[in-house]
A = this chain, B = another copy of it.
């Protein structure tokens, strides 16, 4: 009751260059789109915007799945909606674990009542098609859940052939692509992924808080076996309720599809402003072209990786399977990694990331994502890092980072980068 004793100043965030694992600086176009006025949730204008958002994300996910929509929550809300809607208690789920987000998938599936089996891969590596096949034969899961890019390790899981293999073994394949989408190739339709989830705050260049997802016809058929309509809005035309209810109302995908579908059955009230952000983020990606966006992320990621090595630092993990948009950097033994991060943030306004669990204190993570996958961001980060390392007593070649990055840009101009 001490409200009168508080003062609540306006928020006035400082300028930051966000070169960590996300969120990154949003594209100013997205800020402008979010300033648009609200309309009612069943206004024909709003439902048209919802349809346009579905269409733009079909292009972003590179698929023609009808059920492509937004979950109103952060990226893991999309994951949970997919997993909790697909799994009935007692079903077997297979999860390759090669970083923090494998653990997260495991945990979400367990809470949904699944019997979860994991393929345990050392952090910094990825899962092979052979390892997947062996596990499919042994476990016989009804669902395989993975992440394309596990930001905790910076690794990119190759997924070509996974969909086909899972389907041969009667399993659906779901994949979170929050960290990787737009920065790395992800042809959902060609790879036969049954559900893909993501967020905006990485290579889509938007703010966190909404989760675009896409669902294959087979996935939709599966979750619709448990379709229900809420008592308060049920109609005479609604079928008797079938199958055990999904363990969440908020993440009940059949209900959410009814809201996004022609019946427009009210579920939640769509987060209009975040929808505006998602639509604009999707538009930006489609306008650039997905192939061009992936190339851009590869170029600037390579420049950052080369630059970091040019400063005498070692990269983390198998570089042949690194995400284009983020590099892991081993923190030299003699250095206090958090002191370096603090100096970069406080004195230079530049954020880079740390990591989790076994990698806590061991690596930094430097992102080149979305709006910040740009030459000026790469050069500035490397120049600042050089000065901070030097001032903390860590010798590094003068200009070694910047020169190595320039060399990558030079080669790209000469057409040598594929």
Contact = CB atoms under 8 A, between A and B. Distances in A.
Contact of A201 (B34, B36, B269, B279): B269
Contacts of A25: 37-38
Interface in A231-249: 231-234, 245-249
B11 A40 contact: no
A386 B23 CA distance: 50
Given A23-B272, A40-B20, A55-B8, A72 B64 contact: no
Interface stretch (A102-110, A329-337, A376-384): A102-110
A413 B245 CA distance: 54
B6 A59 contact: yes
A254 interface: no
Interface string A9-47: 111111110101011111000010111111111010100
Tell me whether chain A's interface is mostly helix, strand or loop, or mixed: loop
A64 to B, nearest CB: 6
A96 interface: no
Contact of A31 (B35, B77, B112): B35
B35 A23 contact: no
B34 A10 contact: no
A274 interface: yes
Given A8-B55, A59-B6, A249-B107, A277 B273 contact: yes
Contacts of A34: 31, 34-35, 273
B75 A268 contact: yes
A416 interface: no
A297 to B, nearest CB: 19
Contacts of A249: 76, 80, 104, 107-108, 111
Given A6-B55, A45-B14, A201-B269, A40 B62 contact: no
Interface in A210-235: 210, 230-234
Most central of A40, A58, A279, A280 by chain B CB within 10 Å: A40
Interface in A340-362: 345, 351, 353, 356-357
A271 interface: yes
Contacts of A233: 100, 356-357
Contact of A269 (B38, B75, B282, B286): B75
A406 interface: no
Interface in A176-222: 189, 199, 201, 207-210
Contacts of A41: 23, 208
A276 interface: yes
A52 interface: yes
Interface in A297-327: none
A271 B208 contact: yes
Nearest to A268: B74
A418 interface: no
A49 B250 contact: no
Contacts of A1: 62-64, 189
Contacts of A33: 10-11
A76 B271 CA distance: 12
Given A43-B16, A247-B111, A351-B43, A357 B234 contact: yes
A270 B208 contact: yes
14 contacts: A1-B63, A8-B279, A11-B276, A13-B36, A23-B41, A26-B38, A76-B249, A111-B247, A152-B232, A201-B269, A207-B272, A208-B271, A208-B272, A248-B248
